[in-house]
Structure 1
Amino acid sequence: MGCTGTVGGAGFCDHCGRLQAGTSVPGGGPQRPAAASRAMLRDSWTVAGLVSLPVLTFAPDRATTHLLRVPEEARFCGQGHPVGRSRAGRPGLDEGSCPRCRTRFSFLPGLRPGDVVADRYQVVRCLARGGQGWIYLARDGHQDDIEVALKGVLHANDEKALAAAVQERQFLNSLDHPNIVRSIDFATHDDPVAGPTGYIVMDYLDGMSLRRLLTAAKDPAQPDVSLPLDHILAYGHEILAALDYLHRRGLLYTDMKPDNVMRTADRIKVIDLGGVRRDDRGFAGLVGSPDFLVSLEELQTQGASARSDLFALGKTLAELFRHRTPGPDTPGAAHDALGVESFRRLVARATHLDWHRRFASAGEMSEQLLGVLREILSGGPDRQQPEPVSLFLPSARLLDAGLGLVPPLHTWIAEEDRAVWDDGRPSARLVALGLPVPRPDPDDPAAGELGTVEAPDPQSLLNKLATVVQTSVEVELSRCRAHLELADPRSAAAALAAAARILDVRADADWRLAWHRALLALTGDRIDEAARQFDAVYADIPGEIAPKLALGYCAERNGDAPVAARYYAAVWRRDAFQAGAAFGLARLRLGANDRAGAVAILDEVPALSRHHDTARIAAVRVLSSRLPGGLPTASELNHAVRRLATLHLDGGERHGEARDRLTAAIREVALDLVRSSADADAADLARGPLFGEPPTERGVRELLGRSYRALAQQAHHAEDHNVLIDRANAVRPRTRW
């Protein structure tokens, strides 16, 4: 069912403002903006190279003046007294004089169709009521009657004050950004009630505000209008680009809300520049909406700032999220997906009540928003390319302790029970040392020196760090990691405490300290404490992969397989080069005796990954090992044999030590299998050099004995050689001589 509004002769719905299917834009009437016409030549436009948004065509806004009224709760005279309110069932006055101070007031548009402002702009009609004044559609008589918007923002009691105010607002004309409505002039007009009034002259935009868009999206009568989460994040990305542009120029926007962002055919535009002000940490005369403003206490202590702009954007994203609608093919946006949780944490940090805990810049917030967006869209075909790393350096270490390794020789020499399956879960210490390292802060005093430091081992690194004379947080964090490598947790903790002292009041808001506290807890096998610290990091940088990988491991160690799988899967869907997450998922599936599921995950490790060969070895071991649930089937063993033949082992040689060890491991399980009447018969094993021609128990015994003798040739000590020869003798078929 489509929109239930009435379609007029021009083909536009009078309810949602969208061009309806099967209709065309007529040739008559006001000229539509050229940008919208060009947009109609294609079906979509892309944000950040990630989200494809549909190109929309909107009806011209035909709002009429008599429908635009100032709400009673916003009606005050020039002296601040409430006026124009309804009483005893009688409607309030739109015009009159204040009964207390006799100041004249008017809540009707000051300009009427046909009025000319500054001998140039002829008013067509009133469009809307803004936070500071009325907004009008007008035609520029000096520019071929192109349509512009007049935004009334300033009133002054004398011309000299107005002239000073106009001069102060001229900086708006210098702004030029694709996501900010263009301010092209500043004009004045003498209002008969309000006195001299200033108007920002802006490009007239063909579209709808995000407020109107979310209203349409939550209307069940308009199923064709949607607001999925990936679109919300795309809008946020474009808004952040606009805010970053303003902030870098020492300006604040101050009045961010859904009403002040326009969705045009193929662009997001921040509109209503009436509240833009210099970033001087003051707040007198601040323009803003109560539901999107920071607290008065913050304004009094910190003043208006970039962080208060980002607070308002966080509130805006939260408002859009409350009215989101499902999007197609975005499983990461499902209500229980980790991407949704990451979005909530993004908003929570942007709107944190503590000024220090919020994003410090639009660029910082944009990095995390893009990470969350990638998570929402994860699982697509572009996973073959590694994701750009933001706040962490790439790590070459694989979080695996043996699943992807060829069994070492001591596996057959040791006395422990080799029937117990080792899924390769790494120790907490190995994980602490293998997780990605935070990128050094480029603003750190020692950043230049640290960028040149190279050391072959942690002790050499400590020796070099001792020569750095600057007081540096990054130096202390590097010391902390080096001491962890040397298994010296006390010195690591001392270095971390030194970093906290340098940061002083900023220490509690610095996620790097929480990250290193988590690493310190992991090396001590304090999993719950590490999980709390990693969760704090996730709250601060919700777009990053590293804390989710760490939280997946902590959940795995605590035996919470569903939570571990949720984190591992979110990382793995997002970046196929995070092989640690793949191995974690494989371990979880093995714990559920799901060999096929574990192999399927390992097979997803791309050929370009440094861990591709390791994953292929792991798949062979998964298919050919005894799990707690029992032996593999003959079909699984045969599959392992076929895979073994394709592995690149021993430098590419057809025979070698690694291939001999894997062959011995497979033959051991084959012997167990043919001796087990409950599982399979030797006839089910593939004929060939690994199991014999044809496979029989006697034949498998003979081949396994040969494997043990080949392993004995790898031994470096006589005692080890003898153990392996004894194994060969014990397994060989019995004979009479």
Structure 2
Amino acid sequence: MTAADGAPCARPGCAGTLQDGYCDECGHAPAQAGASTGGASGATVDPGTAAWSPSTGSGTAAWSPSTGTAASTGPSTGTSGSRPSRRGTGRTSTSSSAGGRLGAGLVDVPPVPQVDPSSALLIDPQVPEHKRVCSRCGGPVGRSKDGRPGRVEGFCPRDGAPFSFRPKLEPGVLVDGQYEVQGCLAHGGLGWIYLALDRKVSDRWVVLKGLLDSGDADAMAAAAAEARFLAQIRHPDIVTIHNFAQHPGDDGTPVGYIVMEYVGGVSLKQLLEDRRRPDGTLEPLPVAQAIAYAIEILPALGFLHSRGLAYCDFKPENVIQYERQLKLIDLGAVIRLDDERSPVYGTIGYQAPEIATVGPSPSSDVHTVGRTLAVLTLGIPPARRGVPTPLPEPSENPVLARHESFHRLLRRATDPDPLRRFGSAEEMADQLGGVLREVLAAEGGHPAPRTSTIFGPRHGDFAPDLLAAAGEPGRPEPAQVAARLPDPVAGGDPASSLLVAASSVDLDDVRRMLASSAQQGTEMRLMLLRAHLGAGDPDAATEVLDGLGGDDLDDWRREWFRGVIALSAGRTDAACAAFDTVYATLPGEMVPKLALAAAAECAGQDAVAGHHYGLVARPDPSIADAAFGLARVLARAGDRAGAVAALDAIPETSSRYVAAQLAAVQVVLLGCAPAEVEEAELRSAADRVERLALAPATDLQVRASLLVPAVELVSVAGEGGAPFLGCPWRERDLRFALERCLRTSARLTTDRAERIGLVDRANAVRPLTWV
């Protein structure tokens, strides 16, 4: 036994102890302060310089349809809040990836220089003893005993299966008369990986992948399958196969090797390992950077899915960054979606739980991407003692506490029910784009609005004028909010464009349209639903919704309209619950957050409303309803400075910019007696008014509202200050200015009672004169 045997493992989150130099739980050697975890004494490849990563390794298992068994274990546990609906958006749009755009123009991902291939070679290629297992029974083989090192070749003592962990190719060997072996790069569950020079094609660097154990029939089949699949795949983010070569083994039997491009860079796993602190803890990757990686690589998975293939073993080890590009490597676990006979390979902690019963699917690949994001950003290991590590709660992890939409995205991507996950890689990438903008805004980045492909335009603003000049701000009317919310857009139904205008269409007109239509599709019936709401009849709208079958409407769209109907009827709690479910399903969309915020404000839940208004307003200040809503919530809480800042975020290009500036002036006066207004705030509001080009009546009204507290304040603060709204800071002059505003406003109004009131006020404020 070594001196460290029995000591606790120093890796964060691991409860194991060291045995024979390795942890009995996570299998890693003791963490060394400031040292890399790979490449020690040449025992394993250092992923920081390696060009390749094996498709499997410690924790990888295959599920065989013939036996129905798998090493994959149960799903991640759920967390608080609504679960996503059991159907996705149904979107079929695709996206493509082009090298060199990592970060989507939003994130500055640090480049990774390409490494010299020869520097990645292992000096002493060996399989660590803790990774030596029998290919047939999975039991340990080749382990040390009684002070003697373990055998690299032999037979399993349990079932007699032969094993060999010795590289089959030595440096200098010429494979198939073309590929000169330079040495070993890495090892893993499916084979040794060699670096070679292609002597027939400009001495280019290539990678040869062979079998770790030629006695493993499943591994042999997987290698052959990989060659077959790779030959069909051409994608800028997927490693390219060049050839398939053979070389005689020790017994003269030909052994196959896949020849593929060399990718010089760093795996995402090593990028994470390089952030290990001196105390052994791990600093996760920034959320925005990890999301940028996922957005870049998801189209490659979508490319495979479109060709009827599942990747199966996505994880940080299998993605290489070089410069500002990514490459998906090691397609050894790729399988056809309709293949019910071949074994399915995957890694515990990443693999979807339903693999053992229903096999791989695009949804199961989505699960692996979600788990990869969790490992990269949350500082959790993929598994502990062979069981996937559950997602922590926001109360347990500051990243999830700070980024709610990211938390919801992880929950949906890794949901144990595959029907609740994103339905495709493209859908997940689309939602990640929205979450990325939200994360960047929360981290102080510049707003980056985007146009939704799922929701149509809003039917107008629902509450732009509730920041009254006296008292506290009002709350929006639930029915008005419901009428202004946008509608989902169904790209497959030509009638979907009619739904956008349905809120302004007369109910009788809609009925006539339906009566004259040969086919009453889903979108036309939803148009009837909207018309019933416009007529103030939520019960009739509910009947229309209940009449739509499960095949007519995605679950999340049904929840959306339930929320709209509930809000129209004033049932704000039910509306909040429905919109929360839609938010859980579409965490990257702004509209569900806006609807949830408005419903919560209507219900008097200002904490919930303010949080979700902020999630919308920060990444897209042009959504005026979110900025106004956030300002109302902050003003009611007494944070006038925060309310003004929320309104100031609305850009000058917005049609609501002037209204927001006037509302900011009103915020200064909220809940204050004229004499209680701070001079600095009052002067700031006056400067704001002088910069605006206002209609005469509005300009006079706003100036009068500021001159009233100015008259009160000057008697306390003293005269002789800087001019205010163009007049001297003296009580007499301020009174004359206020009188002029009121008398001019009286001449402009057409309301007799209002005119009399304005003249009376003007007479009251006029200073005493001789005439």
Shorter-chain TM range is 0.7 to 0.9
2:554 aligned with 1:498, yes or no? no
1:202 aligned counterpart, secondary structure: strand
- Whose helix proportion is higher, 1 or 2? 1
Contact 1:139 1:145 in 2 (8 A): yes
2:603 aligned with 1:531, yes or no? no
Indicate which of 304, 323, 335 corresponds to 2:398. 335
1:615 aligned counterpart, secondary structure: helix
Contact 1:342 1:542 in 2 (8 A): yes
- In the aligned structure 1, how far is the partner of 2:665 from the partner of 2:711? 17
| Residues 726 and 539 of structure 1: CA distance in aligned 2, closer, same or farther (over 3 Å) | same
- In the aligned structure 1, how far is the partner of 2:216 from the partner of 2:317? 32
Contact 1:151 1:272 in 2 (8 A): no
Tell me the residue number matched to 2:365: 309
Name whichever of 62-71 and 378-387 sits farther off. Answer: 378-387
Cα deviation, 1:559-607, whole Å, max 9, x if unaligned, reads 5545443333332221121222221222233224444443333223211
Tell me the residue number matched to 2:647: 602
Contact 2:226 2:334 in 1 (8 A): no
Contact 2:472 2:671 in 1 (8 A): no
Q: Tell me the percent identity.
A: 37
User: 1:85-234 residue pairs with structure 2 within 5 A?
Assistant: 86=143, 89=146, 92-98=150-156, 103-152=161-210, 169-192=227-250, 195-220=253-278, 227-234=285-292
User: 1:394-409 residue pairs with structure 2 within 5 A?
Assistant: 394-395=457-458, 397-403=460-466
Q: TM-score, normalised by structure 2?
A: 0.74
- In the aligned structure 2, how far is the partner of 1:673 from the partner of 1:603? 26
Contact 2:746 2:758 in 1 (8 A): yes
Name whichever of 368-377 and 123-132 sits farther off. Answer: 123-132
Indicate which of 330, 337, 342 corresponds to 1:279. 337
Tell me the residue number matched to 1:484: 533
Shift of 1:237: 1.4
User: 1:370-409 residue pairs with structure 2 within 5 A?
Assistant: 370-378=433-441, 383=446, 386-395=449-458, 397-403=460-466
Tell me the residue number matched to 1:457: 505
2:524 aligned with 1:475, yes or no? yes
Tell me the residue number matched to 1:84: 141
Shift of 1:367: 0.6
- In the aligned structure 2, how far is the partner of 1:99 from the partner of 1:666? 91
- In the aligned structure 2, how far is the partner of 1:697 from the partner of 1:264? 68
Cα deviation, 1:30-72, whole Å, max 9, x if unaligned, reads xxxxxxxxxxxxxx97421111222223463132444334645
- In the aligned structure 2, how far is the partner of 1:154 from the partner of 1:107? 6
Q: Gaps spanning 5+ residues in structure 2: where?
A: 1-32, 40-44, 51-99, 382-396
Cα deviation, 1:301-327, whole Å, max 9, x if unaligned, reads 3x31111111111111111123399xx
Contact 1:582 1:601 in 2 (8 A): yes
Tell me the residue number matched to 1:551: 596
Shift of 1:241: 1.9
Tell me the residue number matched to 1:237: 295
Indicate which of 557, 561, 571 corresponds to 1:516. 561
Letter in 2 for 1:146: R
Contact 2:155 2:161 in 1 (8 A): yes
Shift of 1:364: 0.2
Tell me the residue number matched to 2:74: none
- In the aligned structure 1, how far is the partner of 2:426 from the partner of 2:625? 29
Indicate which of 736, 741, 747 corresponds to 1:710. 747
- In the aligned structure 2, how far is the partner of 1:222 from the partner of 1:197? 42
Aligned residues: 666
Cα deviation, 1:604-660, whole Å, max 9, x if unaligned, reads 32111111121122123233555489743455445444444443333xxxx3x4344
User: 1:711-726 residue pairs with structure 2 within 5 A?
Assistant: 713-715=749-751
2:396 aligned with 1:348, yes or no? no
Letter in 1 for 2:357: Q
Name whichever of 91-100 and 277-286 sits farther off. Answer: 91-100
Cα deviation, 1:422-448, whole Å, max 9, x if unaligned, reads 52432222222223332x12134x457
| Residues 596 and 68 of structure 1: CA distance in aligned 2, closer, same or farther (over 3 Å) | same
Contact 2:210 2:256 in 1 (8 A): yes
| Residues 100 and 423 of structure 1: CA distance in aligned 2, closer, same or farther (over 3 Å) | closer
| Residues 75 and 592 of structure 1: CA distance in aligned 2, closer, same or farther (over 3 Å) | same
Contact 1:315 1:351 in 2 (8 A): yes
User: 1:578-617 residue pairs with structure 2 within 5 A?
Assistant: 578-617=623-662
- In the aligned structure 2, how far is the partner of 1:625 from the partner of 1:106? 80
Shift of 1:202: 1.0
CA RMSD in angstroms comes to 4.4
- In the aligned structure 2, how far is the partner of 1:106 from the partner of 1:292? 28
User: 1:361-440 residue pairs with structure 2 within 5 A?
Assistant: 361-378=424-441, 383=446, 386-395=449-458, 397-403=460-466, 420-438=470-488, 440=489
| Residues 465 and 198 of structure 1: CA distance in aligned 2, closer, same or farther (over 3 Å) | farther
- In the aligned structure 1, how far is the partner of 2:723 from the partner of 2:231? 79
Contact 1:64 1:127 in 2 (8 A): no
Cα deviation, 1:496-537, whole Å, max 9, x if unaligned, reads 223354348xx5xx3222222222222233333222222222
2:325 aligned with 1:267, yes or no? yes
Shift of 1:552: 3.1
- In the aligned structure 2, how far is the partner of 1:317 from the partner of 1:668? 57
Tell me the residue number matched to 1:37: none
Shift of 1:253: 1.0
2:491 aligned with 1:442, yes or no? yes
Tell me the residue number matched to 2:126: 67
User: 1:722-733 residue pairs with structure 2 within 5 A?
Assistant: none
Q: Which is bigger in relative contact order (C-alpha 8 A, separation at least 6)? A: 2
| Residues 528 and 193 of structure 1: CA distance in aligned 2, closer, same or farther (over 3 Å) | farther
Indicate which of 661, 669, 677 corresponds to 1:632. 677
Tell me the residue number matched to 2:587: 542
Shift of 1:4: 5.7
| Residues 354 and 121 of structure 1: CA distance in aligned 2, closer, same or farther (over 3 Å) | same
2:180 aligned counterpart, secondary structure: strand
- In the aligned structure 2, how far is the partner of 1:599 from the partner of 1:347? 34
Letter in 2 for 1:147: W
| Residues 462 and 91 of structure 1: CA distance in aligned 2, closer, same or farther (over 3 Å) | farther
1:292 aligned counterpart, secondary structure: coil
Name whichever of 113-122 and 135-144 sits farther off. Answer: 113-122
Contact 2:566 2:572 in 1 (8 A): yes
Contact 2:576 2:599 in 1 (8 A): yes
- In the aligned structure 2, how far is the partner of 1:245 from the partner of 1:431? 41
Tell me the residue number matched to 2:104: 48
| Residues 719 and 155 of structure 1: CA distance in aligned 2, closer, same or farther (over 3 Å) | same
- In the aligned structure 2, how far is the partner of 1:109 from the partner of 1:492? 70
Letter in 2 for 1:527: T
| Residues 450 and 134 of structure 1: CA distance in aligned 2, closer, same or farther (over 3 Å) | farther
Contact 2:627 2:646 in 1 (8 A): yes
- In the aligned structure 2, how far is the partner of 1:563 from the partner of 1:729? 47
- In the aligned structure 2, how far is the partner of 1:373 from the partner of 1:693? 53
